[in-house]
C-alpha cells in the first residue's frame, strides 16, 4: 500500500493528503473539493471573529458531510505603545503616498479603527460547531484551550518550522505536527515573527522524525509524485499541498494573479515581511522592493491590517505590483483544473 494510514485513520479520510489553509486564497469550495477527492480540506479562519468563523464552518457543513479541518492563527498580539502609535502614523503616511504615486486611490485605517482578534473566541466557536479537527499556526495554543478542545474530542494539528517548536508542540499534547519547510509558500508558521528558522524541509523533517513520536504531516515543495515520495521516505505520514492548488478553479486568486504565477521565475520568489509584518514567501514586486528593507514595517498583525485596503484597491485595478501573491519555491505549470481533479491526479501519479 502506498499511503501510510496513521493520519488517515485518525482524521477519518481515504488519503493522508491535506489541502493547505491559505487565507485569502483557499475558499470553502476548495475545502469541499479536497474532501470530495478523499483528502482533508482546510478552512482558513485565520484571525476572523468567532461569528465569521461560525458562518464559514456552517457554509462548509452545508456542502459536505465529510471531515474538514478549521485552521486558526495563534499569534502573540503586541500591545499598543506610544512608540507603536508613532510608527503606525509614519507607516500609514508613507504607504498612502506610495499608493498615490502609483495611481492607487486608497484610505488606510487609523490605528483606532483596526480590530485585532485573539483566538480564544474561535476555539469556543469551533467546539460549539462540533468541528473535530483544528490546525493552527504562528505558535501554540495555551494549556486551557488545549484541554478544552481535547475534552470535546477535537484532534489538534500544530505547525512547526524547527525541532524546538516541534518538541514544544509534542510536549503540550498536540496530536499531529505539520512540519513546514522553508520552501513553502505563504506565511512561515514560526512561533516568533523575528529571526525565524530558515531550515530546508528535507533536513528539518528528517531531524524532527528522529526526535518526536507523534505523526508528522510535511508541507513545503510537494508538487508531484516524486516530491511526495521523497518526504514519505523521510518519515512523513501526511502530505500538505498548497502551491499545487493556487490556480485551481476554487482558488480566490483573480485571473491576472494566476497569469502572474504562470510567468514567475525562481529568482522572483522571495521571503518578505513587507505586507504583513511576518515573513511570507511570495512573488517579488514593486511594493516588496520599496518597503522590505525600510523603516515602514509594523509588527504583525498591524502591518497586515494596514496594508489590507491597499491590496484590495490594487486587486480591483488588476495591479500585480501592490498585491501579495504568495507562492512556494517549487515552480510548476499551475493547473486551473478543479482542486478535486488536481488532487486525484496527484494521488493516481503516486499510486502508479
Q: How far apart are CA 95 and CA 32, in angstroms?
A: 37
**% pLDDT > 90, the chain:** 99
Span 144-168, mean pLDDT?
Answer: 98
Side by side, which strands form the sheet with 68-73? 17-19, 238-241, 216-219, 176-180, 155-160, 133-137, 68-73, 41-46
Q: Which residues contact 85 (CB under 8 A, 6 or more apart)?
A: 111
Per-residue H/E/C for 156-212: EEEEECCHHHHHHHHHCCCCEEEEECCCCCEECCCCCCCCCCCCCHHHHHHHHHHHC
Cβ pair 110, 92 in contact under 8 A = yes
Q: How does pLDDT run across 195-218, given as a tens digit for each residue?
A: 999 999 999 999 999 999 999 999
The SS3 assignment for 287 reads helix
Nine cell digits for residue 134 = 483544528
Q: How does pLDDT run across 29-42, given as a tens digit for each residue?
A: 999 999 999 999 99
- For residue 343, how many other CB atoms are within 10 A of its CB? 26
For residue 108, which of 326, 288, 298, 272 has the smallest C-alpha distance?
Answer: 298
Nine cell digits for residue 132 = 473535530
Return the CATH number of the domain spanning residue range 1-77+116-251+335-352.
3.20.20.70
> What mean pLDDT value characterizes the chain?
97
The SS3 assignment for 236 reads coil
Every domain of the chain and the residues it spans: 1-77+116-251+335-352, 80-115+254-324
Q: How far from the centroid of its chain's Cα atoms is residue 208's Cα?
A: 21
Helix axis angle, 50-63 to 28-36, nearest 10°: 40
Whether pLDDT at 1 is above 90: no
Span 76-81, mean pLDDT?
Answer: 94
Q: How does pLDDT run across 244-292, given as a tens digit for each residue?
A: 999 999 999 999 999 999 999 999 999 999 999 999 999 999 999 999 9
- Report the greatest alpha carbon distance in the chain: 60
pTM equals 0.97
CA angle 245, 162, 167 (to 5 degrees): 115
Cβ pair 222, 342 in contact under 8 A = no
Amino acid at each position: 500500500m502506498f499511503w501510510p494510514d496513521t493520519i488517515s485513520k485518525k482524521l477519518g479520510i481515504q488519503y493522508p493528503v491535506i489541502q493547505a489553509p491559505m487565507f485569502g486564497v483557499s475558499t470553502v469550495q476548495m475545502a469541499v473539493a479536497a474532501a470530495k477527492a478523499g483528502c482533508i480540506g482546510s478552512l482558513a479562519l485565520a484571525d476572523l471573529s468567532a461569528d465569521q468563523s461560525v458562518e464559514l464552518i456552517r457554509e462548509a457543513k452545508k456542502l459536505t458531510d465529510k471531515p474538514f479541518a478549521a485552521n486558526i492563527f495563534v499569534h502573540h498580539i503586541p500591545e499598543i505603545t506610544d512608540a507603536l502609535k508613532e510608527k503606525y502614523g509614519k507607516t500609514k503616511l508613507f504607504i498612502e503616498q506610495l499608493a498615490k504615486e502609483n495611481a492607487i486611490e486608497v484610505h488606510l485605517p487609523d490605528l483606532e479603527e483596526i480590530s485585532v482578534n485573539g483566538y480564544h473566541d474561535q476555539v469556543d466557536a469551533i467546539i460549539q460547531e462540533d468541528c473535530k479537527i483544528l490546525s493552527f499556526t504562528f505558535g501554540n495554543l495555551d494549556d486551557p484551550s488545549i484541554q478544552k478542545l481535547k475534552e470535546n474530542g477535537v484532534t489538534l494539528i500544530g505547525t512547526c518550522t524547527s525541532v524546538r517548536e516541534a518538541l514544544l508542540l509534542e510536549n503540550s499534547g498536540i496530536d499531529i505536527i505539520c512540519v513546514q519547510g522553508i520552501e513553502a509558500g505563504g506565511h512561515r508558521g514560526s512561533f516568533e515573527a523575528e529571526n525565524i528558522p530558515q531550515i530546508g524541509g528535507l533536513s528539518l523533517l528528517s531531524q524532527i522524525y528522529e526526535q518526536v513520536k507523534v505523526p508528522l504531516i510535511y508541507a513545503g515543495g510537494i508538487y508531484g509524485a516524486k516530491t511526495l515520495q521523497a518526504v514519505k521516505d523521510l518519515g512523513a505520514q501526511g502530505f500538505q499541498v498548497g502551491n499545487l492548488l493556487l490556480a485551481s478553479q476554487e482558488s480566490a486568486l483573480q485571473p491576472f494573479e494566476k497569469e502572474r504565477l504562470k510567468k514567475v521565475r525562481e529568482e522572483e520568489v522571495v521571503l518578505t515581511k513587507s505586507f504583513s509584518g511576518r515573513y511570507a514567501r511570495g512573488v517579488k514586486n514593486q511594493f516588496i522592493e520599496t518597503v522590505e528593507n525600510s523603516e515602514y514595517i509594523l509588527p504583525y498583525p498591524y502591518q497586515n491590517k494596514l496594508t489590507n485596503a491597499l491590496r484590495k484597491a490594487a486587486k480591483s485595478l488588476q495591479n500585480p505590483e501592490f498585491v501579495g501573491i504568495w507562492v512556494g519555491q517549487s515552480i510548476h505549470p499551475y493547473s486551473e483544473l478543479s482542486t478535486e481533479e488536481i488532487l486525484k491526479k496527484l494521488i493516481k501519479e503516486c499510486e502508479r
